[in-house]
Amino acid sequence: MGESIDYDSILALYDQKAKDIRTYSPSVLAYIGDTVFDLFVRASVIGEGNSSVNKMHKKCSDMVKASSQARLYERIEPMLSEEEADVMRRGRNSHQKTMAKNASAGDYHKATGLEALIGYLYMTGQNDRLFELMKVVEER
């Protein structure tokens, strides 16, 4: 007990060491960022009170779809440091082999940029900053 759910603690559980973050592609950052974002959204929805799982799932789905993430991208963009903006821009501009259904290409690319930033913050242990930016989700 007492372990936090951060990247380094998870790696230590499996006797692994963190790699240099600069070696990861924006797609890999977005891959983990997608899951971290989903966890924040689910925790937020559950925190609103007990409800049917179907209703919670619908609410979460609306919040994690590409168009919603694209709006969050635009809202947090002015709040970012130069380094954070660069990570988000690299994620947005990365070549994607797949495209979400019911999403414009622009929204999908912005969503990938947002997820890359979230993944980057998570993997570099910048939890305070991650929580600060994720607070914007509550301001929907």
Q: Which of 6, 20, 34, 128 is catalytic?
A: 34
Do residues 75 and 66 make contact, with C-beta atoms less than 8 angstroms apart?
Answer: no
Which residues, including other chains, have CB under 8 Å from residue 18's CB and lie 6 or more apart? Answer: 7, 8, 11, 123
Burial of 109 (0-12, 13-18, 19+ CB in 10 A): buried
34 catalytic? Reply is: yes
Q: Which residues are the active-site residues? A: 34
